[in-house]
Structure 1
Amino acid sequence: MTPLALYVHWPFCLAKCPYCDFNSHVREVVPERRFAACLGRELAHEAARLNRDGTRRLGSIFFGGGTPSLMEPASVAALIEQACALFTPAEDLEITLEANPTSVEAGRLRGFRDAGVNRLSLGVQALDDAALQRLGRGHSAREAIAALELARTLFGRISFDLIYARPDQSLTAWDQELGTALDLVSDHLSLYQLTIEPGTRYEALHRQGLITLPNDDDAAALYEATASIAARHGLAAYEVSNYARPGAESRHNLAYWRYQDYAGIGPGAHGRLTLDGALHATRRHRAPEPWADLVERHGTGETSTAPLSARDRAREMLLMGLRLSEGIDAEAFAARTGTALAAALDSDVLQAAGDEGYLVWHGDCLAATPAGRLRLDALLGALVL
C-alpha cells in the first residue's frame, strides 16, 4: 500500500481575501488550545481505523488553510510528534506548512522549522503593490520578497503561490514579475489563474462591472508564457498549475493527483481512504465551531463516509490524473478503479483529442499535452464518461 498523505486544516485567517472561496474564517479571538486539541483527537481517530496493525507508513503532512502560520509552532510540533507516533513515518517524510508574508517573522519561522516542518509554501500571490491591494492581501511586494529571502535561509524546500490573469495584467509585466520571484526562489511554484468564484466579493464586483478579467486569448497567452519563463529557470510543469525542479515536486499533492490514499482532519477537510478493502470518500463538518463540538463529543468531526462506486473512482482518477504531465498509467488505473482505462473514456472524443494533439499515449500512459492541459476543463467534460 502506498504511504498515507495527511492533510491538517487550520481554517482561520486575519482577513478574507475577496477572490477566495476556500473554507477560511475570520475570528477576533481564536481559541487555539481548543482547536489544536481537537485536531489531535481527530488524528487519533483516523489512526485507529487506518493503522490497526501498526504498519501504515506516513509519506507527507500538509498544514493548509486558512493560514496555518498563525498557529503557534508548539501546536504544529505536537501534531507532527503525534502523527509520527501513530504512524510509521517515511525516512524522507515531507512536512509542508502554508504561510502568508504577513504572518512571517524570523522567530516564528525558526519555530516551525524546529517543530519539524521541512517545506514552506508562501502565499505571495503578486509582486506588484497595486495588484496586492486589489487582491485584498495584507502585505506589500517588499514584504513578500523579504519573506522569500528569509525562508530560503531556514528551509531546504520552498514553494510559493502567484496569481495571474489579473485585471489589466500585461504579458510584459507578468514576465518581469515572475522572473523576479524565480530569481529569489526557484525550487517549486504554484501559479493560479484568477477566476471568479460564486459567493466571493469578486463575484459581486464582476457582476457590477467593477472588475474585468483578461479574455480567454490573453489568459492563454499568460499561461503559455508562464511555462516558458519557468523553463528558463529550470522548472518544468509537472501539473497544470505547478512547476518544479526535478525532485522538488510536492509529494503530498502528487498523492492527490495520483489518486492515492489521503486523510484530512480539521473543519471541512475531506479524504479518500481505503477502508476494509474499499475506497471511501470522507468529509468533516465545514464550520469550525460545530466541527470542534463534534470532535469533543465523538472524537471526530466527520459528517460523511461512503464507499465510492467504480464509476466514481474512474471519474475522479481521470479528473485528477490528467492534470499531471506524466498522465495516467492504464495498469494503475485498472487496479485502483476496477475499470479499464479505455472503458472510462468516450472513444470518439479520445480519437479526436489525439488527432488535435491534445492527448498522447506514452506506452500504457495517457497524458494531456501542454496544449491539452490548456484546454483541460473542456476536454475532460467531453472525454470522461
Structure 2
Amino acid sequence: MTDTSAPLALYVHWPFCVSKCPYCDFNSHVRESVDQALWRSAMLVDLQHEAAVLPGRRLGSIFFGGGTPSLMPPETVAAVIEAAERHWGFEPGIEITLEANPSSVEAARFADIASAGVNRVSLGLQALDDKDLRFLGRAHGVDEGLAALETAQRAFARVSFDLIYARPGQTLAGWEAELSRALAYGTEHLSLYQLTIEPGTRFATLFEKGELAAYDPDEAADLFDATRAITAAAGLPAYEISNHARPGAESRHNLTYWRYGDYAGVGPGAHGRRGGVATLRRKKPENWLSAIERNGHGIEREDPLDPQDRGVEALLMGLRLAEGVDLSRIPDAPLDAKALAGMEAQGLIRREGTLLIVTDAGMPVLEAILRELVVT
C-alpha cells in the first residue's frame, strides 16, 4: 500500500495558543512565555530524526498546524523549511501551508512568513458574525478578521479560510447569506465544518450541564446540503466532506492524508504514517522537550500497522473524498459485503471500476456508513 516513490508530506505542530477555544480538542496549550531559541532548536532535532529514518524521499508539502503556528517567529518557520529542504529536497512547486489566526498582530507577520517560504495560508475566521465569534471564544472580530484576510491575499499565492456552521440559533437563510458573503472574497479554498461537541472541551462541559444544546440533526443536514450546492455553484465544489476548492486548488498536503500516503509528523502530539508504521509524539510540550533532550526525538510510540489496520485507515480516510477510494490499493479491503450491497441498493455508495465512492446522498450520513461498512 505504501508508495515510496510518491512525494512525502511533513506536518509540523506548534502547540501554543493565546487562549483555548471552547470547541477545540486539538493539542493546544497556553503558556505565559516560550523560549523561542530552545523551541527552534528542538524542532530541528525532531525533524532531523525523521529525515534519518525516511531517507531518499522528496517533500511535496509541508503543513504548519497547531495550536497557532502564526505565533511562531518567522525565523523559526524559515529554519524549519530550510532544514526540511536540506534533509529531503523539494518537489517542484511544493505546497507550504501555515495555519493562522486572523488577528491584526499575527497579520502583521504575514509578509515575513511568506518571505520565510510559506506559499499558502489557512485562516481561522470561523464566523462572519461578531456575536458568534464571541460564543466561539475567538479573540478577533469580523472587521479584524476580514482585514487579516485582505493582508493574507496580498502576501500569499494561495489562501484558504475556515468557517464553522450549525452554530446555536443559526438559520438556513442566515448561513446561506454568510456563506455567499464568504465566497465573495474570492479565495480558492474553503474549509466548512459543522460545529461538533468534542469530549474534553468547554462546550462538552456546558452540554453536560444542559447549558448548551446540540444542533437539530435534520436542520444540520439542510445546512450541509445548502453548503454543497452553494459552493458548487460558485465553482468551489466539495472534494472532501468539509473542504471545497476550485479545481486544482485542493490542499495537496491534506490529500496525502486522505489518499493514505506517507507523512512525517514532528512537534508535540504530531502523528505520522511512514512505511506502515504509525508514529506519535509526546503531547505535553514540556514532556516533548524532555524527550528531545533525552532521546534525540519526541516520539512516544511507534506502532507497526498490520494489513487489516492499514486497510481500515485507508477506507476511513479515502471515503471522505469525492473521488472515493481505490480498492486496488487495499488488498483484502475490510468491507462488510452485506452492508455494501445494501448501501449500493440505496444509492449511498457506487462503484466505478476499482473505485468505491460515497454518493452525494451518502455524504450527509458518512459517519453512519463508515460504522456499518468498514470492518474494524
TM range, smaller chain? over 0.9
Alignment correspondent of 1:13: 17
Q: Distance in 2 between matches of 1:147 and 1:185?
A: 14
Alignment correspondent of 1:204: 205
Q: Distance in 1 between matches of 2:35 and 2:360?
A: 46
Alignment correspondent of 1:350: 340
Query: 3-state SS of the aligned residue for 1:361?
Result: strand
* Contact 1:70/1:103 (<8 A) preserved: no
* Contact 1:69/1:103 (<8 A) preserved: no
* Contact 1:267/1:284 (<8 A) preserved: yes
Alpha-carbon offset, residue 73 of structure 1: 0.5
Q: Distance in 1 between matches of 2:29 and 2:166?
A: 26
Counterpart among 281, 304, 309 of residue 306 in structure 2? 309
Alignment correspondent of 1:4: 8
After TM superposition, the structure 1 = structure 2 runs for residues 36-47 of structure 1, keeping only pairs within 5 Å, are 36-47=40-51
Query: 3-state SS of the aligned residue for 1:326?
Result: coil
Q: Distance in 1 between matches of 2:358 and 2:347?
A: 9
Q: Distance in 1 between matches of 2:192 and 2:293?
A: 38
Alignment correspondent of 1:336: none
* Contact 1:186/1:235 (<8 A) preserved: no
Alpha-carbon offset, residue 185 of structure 1: 3.0
**Which amino acid is the alignment partner of residue 187 of structure 1?**
E
**Which amino acid is the alignment partner of residue 249 of structure 1?**
E
Alignment correspondent of 2:150: 149
Q: Distance in 2 between matches of 1:11 and 1:384?
A: 33
Runs of 5+ consecutive residues of structure 2 not aligned to the other structure: none
Query: 3-state SS of the aligned residue for 2:151?
Result: helix
Alpha-carbon offset, residue 13 of structure 1: 0.1
Shift in CA distance, 382/105, structure 1 to aligned 2, threshold 3 Å:
closer
**Which amino acid is the alignment partner of residue 43 of structure 1?**
L
Q: Distance in 1 between matches of 2:13 and 2:106?
A: 22
Q: Distance in 2 between matches of 1:103 and 1:285?
A: 32
Alignment correspondent of 2:235: 234
Query: 3-state SS of the aligned residue for 2:279?
Result: strand
Is residue 2:346 matched to residue 1:382? no
Alignment correspondent of 2:362: 372
TM-score (norm 1): 0.95
Q: C-alpha deviations, 1:30-66, integer Å up to 9, x for none?
A: 1121112111000001111111xxx311110000000
Alpha-carbon offset, residue 332 of structure 1: 2.1
Q: Distance in 2 between matches of 1:251 and 1:191?
A: 17
* Aligned CA-pair RMSD: 1.0
Runs of 5+ consecutive residues of structure 1 not aligned to the other structure: 334-338
* Contact 1:12/1:26 (<8 A) preserved: yes
* Contact 1:98/1:123 (<8 A) preserved: yes
Alignment correspondent of 2:33: 29
Q: Which moved more, 1:260-269 or 1:366-375?
A: 366-375
User: For this pair of structures, how many residues does the alignment match?
Assistant: 371
Q: Distance in 1 between matches of 2:36 and 2:233?
A: 43
**Which amino acid is the alignment partner of residue 380 of structure 1?**
L
Query: 3-state SS of the aligned residue for 2:235?
Result: coil
* Contact 2:71/2:106 (<8 A) preserved: no
Q: Distance in 2 between matches of 1:373 and 1:31?
A: 45
TM-score (norm 2): 0.97
Query: 3-state SS of the aligned residue for 2:90?
Result: strand
Query: 3-state SS of the aligned residue for 2:361?
Result: helix
Alignment correspondent of 1:340: 332
Q: Distance in 2 between matches of 1:355 and 1:286?
A: 44
Identity across matched positions, percent: 55
Shift in CA distance, 11/103, structure 1 to aligned 2, threshold 3 Å:
farther
* Contact 2:348/2:359 (<8 A) preserved: yes
Alpha-carbon offset, residue 133 of structure 1: 0.3
Q: C-alpha deviations, 1:294-352, integer Å up to 9, x for none?
A: 1012110101112101110010000000000101112222xxxxx233xx211110011
Alpha-carbon offset, residue 149 of structure 1: 1.3
Alpha-carbon offset, residue 232 of structure 1: 2.3
* Contact 1:47/1:87 (<8 A) preserved: yes
Alpha-carbon offset, residue 106 of structure 1: 5.1
Q: C-alpha deviations, 1:203-252, integer Å up to 9, x for none?
A: 11112222223210000001111011111221010001100000000000
Alignment correspondent of 1:257: 258
Q: Distance in 1 between matches of 2:148 and 2:108?
A: 12
Q: Distance in 2 between matches of 1:223 and 1:155?
A: 29
Q: C-alpha deviations, 1:10-39, integer Å up to 9, x for none?
A: 000000001111000001111121112111
Alignment correspondent of 2:271: 270
Q: Distance in 2 between matches of 1:237 and 1:317?
A: 20
Q: C-alpha deviations, 1:237-284, integer Å up to 9, x for none?
A: 00011000000000000000000000100000011001xxxx101001
Is residue 2:328 matched to residue 1:331? yes
Shift in CA distance, 44/346, structure 1 to aligned 2, threshold 3 Å:
same
**Which amino acid is the alignment partner of residue 306 of structure 2?**
S
Is residue 2:294 matched to residue 1:297? yes
Query: 3-state SS of the aligned residue for 2:322?
Result: coil
**Which amino acid is the alignment partner of residue 329 of structure 1?**
D
